[in-house]
Structure 1
């Protein structure tokens, strides 16, 4: 996506609390697919995927939502369906045409897998299911993997005061989470200005990016900013304000790092970059305070088992503070 298209990135949530919400999810997927640059019949295919995933939530799941957003890397649309149970004992079997537990034709998830450029599903009993379908115009190009994002506005707000981005340069990925103070248009203005600085200077040293953002945000309400750069074996972290980083590991204790007290644009502390060792089987999560911090104190097996591509949306679904904007970015460790 161009920087202009990402001035105010947002994840659109449709709660599937009634069958009528299935049509709403499909309509939104068609509209956002068009805005993401999908041409030809692709917006119709996006609507079909959203309809199938939402229909499954309505039939089988508890507290399910469909989330729509532009891809965090590459160009296209991402359609994610998340619930709170009961989960699937054998997700692969559910992808087989003809499999059903509701007496229907049983072609839903199999059809989604055929339509989507990339489709993955993770499910545990009784925790629930996360399904992610990605649709792009470049059907024959492999999609970037090992990265995920969610950016949700506070309840009742049309714009999000948080922003996020991921930049890829060879084997190195740099990610941003920025939280404009408060929420609404003024917060979104601050976050959008910081985002433009990131896109203009994303290959610079992290401390220099932070200094540039501080200068750019002087005439805004200011923001909390977190930056992380992951390379083979390591991750550099630089943050000011309530942006946290968590390193999740399936084998070792998780590690957490907090941002330094201050407000970018108002009172910037001495900027410091810290380095953490990150193995290839570990995942980094960078998140704003709109995501409850308690999830990271003792990460559950449910989160430890999720790949980076879907981890942020699962966090947003289960640990979002509804009165605040909530953003999370995840990056898989690099071998």
Structure 2
């Protein structure tokens, strides 16, 4: 088995008053120190996170920040800032040093760009901005930035009943997403059992992996499960789904849905099937639970599919996520 990415317990921190700035900076510094960053590298993280948090507090209508180990590289720190707010009409102008206007989230973006090891911004005027950035210690490798996933529990729950796991082998990426039935600890237990079963059988064909998960979830409340294998060299995705997990091949001009059969993994299912799809160049393979509605239109987000997978996932979580259910979204950019 190649590189492994698991769902983490993503802790989203609201950034709506000044007290959040210090809390976010301390969280980022602590994580950087744990990851072995030296004083200079840790300082870069502290400055960039403080600037991003300050912008959220000053200008966002609703702002959140996520600070976590980078899902593709344990030694890196990933930061995602998401807001509903004024947005920016000209991101390139906002990235110039010294640019400042009270109507945008542009203050400090030039400095953030210099401090981060990698970053991308996607902004829509009147709707908001998503800033994704990551940090690595000087001389350390950078993450490939081919895949990212986000989870968010319903309301004030502390556990999420949705989970995902990813394996990477060369240019092939295999993703499993499970939406445990309902929410809370019992749903989370079902989803984590699906992760465990996936890891046991990940080398098999997607439909066979799905069959093993379906059989193995019988002692849990079950859930909706999808398995997708993206072959970057061949430009294809093999997909098998059971239940209400949405799966898409997304490109600048629209999206193509992938077929999931009705049922509940662990309890009832029709004959499971695997489908093969072509993945056009410059596309993203996207999976999400029904914690996101399907009423999103990729053409409403110009340029989004070319951004970091974390920015793609974060934008759709903001735009289509519902607070009435756990939510999970995974974005994969095929790699050769």
TM bucket (normalised to shorter chain) is 0.7 to 0.9
Which position in structure 2 is the counterpart of 1:135?
135
Change (3 A) 1:153 1:31: farther
Correspondences of 1:163-182 after superposition (within 5 Å) = 163-182=163-182
Which position in structure 1 is the counterpart of 2:291?
290
Q: Report SS of the residue matched to 2:62.
A: coil
Aligned-residue offset at 1:98: 2.6
CA distance in 1, matches of 2:258, 2:24: 37
Aligned-residue offset at 1:282: 1.6
Which position in structure 2 is the counterpart of 1:241?
243
CA RMSD of aligned residues (A): 2.7
CA distance in 2, matches of 1:303, 1:274: 29
Which position in structure 1 is the counterpart of 2:54?
55
CA distance in 1, matches of 2:242, 2:36: 37
1:8-36 residue CA offsets vs partner (Å, 9 max, x unmatched): 6222212222222223333343455567x
Q: Is contact 2:263-2:270 (8 Å) kept?
A: yes
Change (3 A) 1:70 1:303: farther
Change (3 A) 1:287 1:302: same
Gap regions ≥5 residues in structure 2: none
Correspondences of 1:129-208 after superposition (within 5 Å) = 129-137=129-137, 139-208=139-208
CA distance in 2, matches of 1:34, 1:266: 45
CA distance in 2, matches of 1:47, 1:186: 37
Aligned-residue offset at 1:43: 5.8
Q: Is contact 1:63-1:83 (8 Å) kept?
A: yes
* Aligned pairs, number: 326
Q: Which range moves more in the overlay, 80-89 or 323-332? A: 80-89
CA distance in 2, matches of 1:287, 1:50: 28
Gap regions ≥5 residues in structure 1: none
Change (3 A) 1:32 1:238: farther
1:245-272 residue CA offsets vs partner (Å, 9 max, x unmatched): 1222223x42113421112222243221
1:138-163 residue CA offsets vs partner (Å, 9 max, x unmatched): 74423212322211111111111111
CA distance in 1, matches of 2:82, 2:188: 26
TM-score under structure 1 length normalisation: 0.86
Q: Report SS of the residue matched to 2:20.
A: helix
Change (3 A) 1:208 1:293: same
Q: Which range moves more in the overlay, 163-172 or 124-133? A: 124-133
TM-score under structure 2 length normalisation: 0.86
Aligned-residue offset at 1:189: 1.4
Q: Is contact 2:153-2:327 (8 Å) kept?
A: yes
Q: Report SS of the residue matched to 1:64.
A: strand
Q: Report SS of the residue matched to 1:163.
A: strand
- The answer to which structure has the higher strand fraction is 2
Q: Which range moves more in the overlay, 8-17 or 283-292? A: 8-17
1:299-331 residue CA offsets vs partner (Å, 9 max, x unmatched): 342166342331111111222121211000111
Correspondences of 1:62-141 after superposition (within 5 Å) = 62-75=61-74, 76-101=76-101, 108-137=108-137, 139-141=139-141
1:103-123 residue CA offsets vs partner (Å, 9 max, x unmatched): xxx983233223322111222
Change (3 A) 1:220 1:249: same
Q: Report SS of the residue matched to 1:96.
A: coil
Change (3 A) 1:221 1:44: farther
